Amino acid sequence: MAKAKRTLKWQRDPEGMRLRILEAAKQEFSAHGLAGARVDRIAAKAGANKRMLYYHVGNKDELYLAVLEGAYDKIRSEERGLDLEHLDPPEAIRRLIEFTWNYFLRNPEFLSLLQTENLARAKHLKKSTKVKSMHSPFVEMIRTVVRRGVESGDFQVAVDPVQLYISIAALSFFYLSNSATLSVIFGRDLLDKKAKDERLAHMVGLVLAALTGQSVALFEIAKAPKSRAAVAQTV
Amino acid sequence: MAKAKRTLKWQRDPEGMRLRILEAAKQEFSAHGLAGARVDRIAAKAGANKRMLYYHVGNKDELYLAVLEGAYDKIRSEERGLDLEHLDPPEAIRRLIEFTWNYFLRNPEFLSLLQTENLARAKHLKKSTKVKSMHSPFVEMIRTVVRRGVESGDFQVAVDPVQLYISIAALSFFYLSNSATLSVIFGRDLLDKKAKDERLAHMVGLVLAALTGQSVALFEIAKAPKSRAAVAQTV
DNA sequence: ACAGTATTTATCCAACGGGTTAATTTCTCT
DNA sequence: AGAGAAATTAACCCGTTGGATAAATACTGT
């Protein structure tokens, strides 16, 4: 009460409101998909009136696209922060895998949004001029890392960087985005600490072994799960 | 007109009707997700009345679960048909990757259904007693293949079969389920013949190189896309 | 201080969509 | 044949939902 002015019925804050709306929309769309998302819930979550969504962003579809573009924007900008140029090739690849894995872990909504958009066959993304111009810097990074690796003799073969990029993303993405069904099927929790550590070790080991021809130390960890079975538990 | 009896208003065909409903539901759910699916459209597609869905299967959720269970049922039964016991380890792994890839290609609805279910955090699958008992036979298959490979010296290291299974699935799954957004981002069609051939070659090469320590012939194809790559395939 | 504009609230509504009710038609068994 | 059960149709119900309209309230510059 005793704060600055006295509490008015409401204050203006267009920028803040827009951000809160987009954040709420991100939550809602990633939790329920496009069709399952409820405009009213987004409004409520943003502490706003439903009319505000239309006023500040647009209708449901525009809202969704804005969220999607924001998500791409965010990952691309983080990707740019990671420079692999000065690392030796195997270390650069390891770093890349770790970044991808951790980014997905820290931003589960990103995974959900991509799933949702792919379910829609990228119908919305195709309309976005924004996203099409945001190339991932990774592909070129990988290209030079691979070239350096081959030249130095660290890597036994030159892979197509796009394929490698997709594979690295795939190994993390699928594990995390499908962890719910996989956990049911395998009857164990794929998201507990130990399982996650093992997964990261496995991925790094797999990719580096393929590139260098030598199985990496970390790969071995996954190898002999001394079989008090890796489990830990689910549901 | 001049057929068998004369055309009655309608014939009875409970089993056929049930199948048509489930098939239509599979299409609808995989195309639009759970929330996006329309019960009326399923009925129309099945050449039936909406009431029939409820009569033969149940409400929307039950319909969805039946479809999901059917999808798992199908892949598990095909998996069982694949026996890798008599192949030498590297060949068995290659076979496994090819099967997975081709199955996903031939059954795109399976991918969509899994995405949908994971978006729902496997809420429905958890309720299915059926699916929980249908363990994939792959894990045990892989375990013995890996053991044989290590013993014979073909493989340089013993991987955890669950991790390997997930990785093999991941490499195909992600590429296909996310091909829509990836195609937009890379500005090229990941689903044309050439791209698919290269992808399969890359996956086989990656996994086998990791296991054996030697880069496989096929791996090279991806590198220098001379592309008349292996394969035979699909769709 | 006040006029004009930007921001927010309070209601409303028409279409949609899942599900239900009740009547109708075909089949089967005796 | 014909009665009872099974399968199918047709019509309706009603809460939900995206979106729109109009009025109120807070700012801004002059």
Closest chain B residue to A213, measured at CA: B213
CA nearest neighbour of B161 among A224, A205, A53, A62 = A224
Q: Residue B119's Cα: distance from chain center in Å?
A: 17
Asked whether the predicted pLDDT for residue A70 surpasses 80, the reply is yes
The number of CA neighbours under 13 Å toward the Cβ of B186 is 20
- The pLDDT tens digits for A144-162 are 999 999 999 999 999 999 9
pLDDT at B66: 97
- Indicate yes or no: CB of A181 within 8 angstroms of CB of B125: yes
Could you check: is the Cβ of residue B60 within 7 Å of any atom of nucleic acid strand C? yes
- The pLDDT tens digits for A78-95 are 999 998 889 999 999 999
Spell out the domains of chain B, with CATH numbers in brackets.
Answer: 13-58 (1.10.10.60), 71-223 (1.10.357.10)
* Sign, CA torsion A42/A48/A50/A54: negative
A193 Cβ contact partners less than 8 Å away, ≥ 6 residues apart:
none
Which of residues 60 through 89 in chain A touch B, CB cutoff 8 A?
none
- A210 inside 8 A of chain B by CB: yes
Scan for tokens 């507990």, then name that residue.
A192
Say whether B187 sits in a helix, a strand or coil: coil
Q: Find the nucleotide nearest A48 (Cα to C1′).
A: C8
Which of residues 190 through 209 in chain B touch A, CB cutoff 8 A?
198-199, 202-203, 205-207, 209
* Tens digit of pLDDT at every position of chain B (235 positions): 323 334 457 787 888 899 999 999 999 999 999 999 999 999 999 999 999 999 999 999 999 999 999 999 999 999 999 889 899 999 999 999 999 999 999 999 999 999 999 999 999 999 998 888 888 888 999 999 999 999 999 999 999 999 999 999 999 999 999 999 999 999 999 999 999 999 999 999 999 999 999 887 545 544 433 333 333 322 2
Scan for tokens 């340089």, then name that residue.
B156
As ranges, strand D nucleotides with an atom below 7 A of a protein CB are 6-11, 17-22, 25-27
Q: Under a CB-based contact definition with an 8 Å cutoff, are residues A119 and B33 in contact?
A: yes
B210 to chain A: which residues are within 8 Å by CB? Answer: 205-207, 209-210, 215, 219
CA nearest neighbour of B205 among B150, B168, B160 = B168
pLDDT at B217: 53
d(CA A93, CA A84): 8
Q: Find the nucleotide nearest B16 (Cα to C1′).
A: D7
- A215 inside 8 A of chain B by CB: yes
Environment class of A9 (CB within 10 Å of its CB; exposed 0-12, middle 13-18, buried 19+): exposed
Å between B29 CA and D11 C1'? 27
H helices within chain B, ranges in order? 14-36, 39-45, 50-56, 60-81, 89-106, 108-119, 123-127, 129-132, 138-152, 161-177, 179-186, 193-212, 217-223
CB < 7 A contacts with chain D (nucleic strand): A 8-12, 37-40, 50-51, 54, 59-61; B 9-14, 17, 48-52, 55-56
Q: How confident is the model at residue A6 (pLDDT cuts 50, 70, 90)?
A: very low
d(CA B158, CA B91): 16
